Structure formats: C-alpha cells, structure tokens
Amino acid sequence: MMFDLKQLYQDVIVDHNRSPRNFGILEHADRKLEGYNPLCGDKLTLYVKMDGDIISDIRFDGSGCAISVASASLMTEAMKGKTIAKAEQLFNDFHHLLTAENAEPDLDRFGKLAALAGVREYPSRIKCASLCWHTLHAVIDGNAAAVSTE
C-alpha cells in the first residue's frame, strides 16, 4: 500500500512542493495568464518573458495541492530557455505521458518530470498535474482568456 503512495508522492514532488522553484511574480513579464481548477480551487498565475521565440524566463504564483505546485515548479525548470517549438513538443509529450492509455512511456526522456508519471494511476488528480501545463500552452498560443481545467 505505502509503495503505491510513494509512487505518487516521490521525494522530488515533496521537495518541489515544499520549496517550489521559480515561484513568485515575474516583473516585466511579456505574458501572464491565470489557470484555475474549479474542482479543488487550485489557482496559479503563470508569467513568461520571451526573447524572440525563446522562453527566457518563467515564473508562477498561486496555491494548490502538492501535485499541482510540484508540477508547476518542475515545468518552469524544464521550460526555461526552450524555444516555443520545443516547449510545444514537451507539452504534447507530457500530456501524452499523463493521459495515454496502455502506453509504456520512455521515462528517462523526461528527466525529473518523470516523477509526475505516478499521477496516471489517479484519474481524479491528473487535472492537478496538468493545470500549469494547459496554462502554459494557452500562453504560448497567445490565448488571453484564463484557463480552466473544466
């Protein structure tokens, strides 16, 4: 029983929840968007600064469960310095990792993000992990409306 739970709350996730990276308002952000999960009340704001088509800086702010905070923290780490095309690719791969059925994902490819793969086993929690990603996806698309997971 505890083994399963440890698959979800891996050390990486507990650590990123306790000390989220890139947390707080980003002054002079080019783009800013709020994501909201009405199911649990998770709310986060994502700030992005672009240098051409490169994400030169990215931060987030808000409150949520350990899964959503850790996911946002890990995502900002992974996205910093990426081109928009690379960011989109990672979004698609990560989305596939969380939602594809019967897939045997190549976890090594995801680095630290692989810690979030355990969420697959918890259908009601996938939205927690994906909130920040959908928000980023909308930011990149230039969609100005706030993102909701519903």
| Site residue total, another protein (CB under 8 A) | 22
Strand, coil or helix: 79: helix
> Residue 8 or residue 136: which is nearer to another protein going by CB?
8
Q: Please name which of 111, 27, 107, 122 lies closest in space to residue 68, comparing C-alpha atoms.
A: 122
> Residue 3 or residue 104: which is nearer to another protein going by CB?
3
> Residue 4 or residue 141: which is nearer to another protein going by CB?
4
- 18 contacts another protein (rule: CB under 8 A): yes
Integer Cα distance of 148 and 150 in angstroms: 5
Applying CB under 8 A, which of residues 14, 50, 84, 114 lies at the interface with another protein? 14
Q: For residues 42-81, which are near another protein according to CB under 8 A?
A: 42-43, 63-67
Integer Cα distance of 89 and 17 in angstroms: 25
- 19 contacts another protein (rule: CB under 8 A): no
Integer Cα distance of 22 and 141 in angstroms: 21
Q: In what order do the strands lie in the sheet with 54-63?
A: 54-63, 42-51, 31-37, 147-148
Applying CB under 8 A, which residues contact another protein?
1-2, 4-5, 8-9, 14, 17-18, 39-43, 63-67, 122, 125, 128
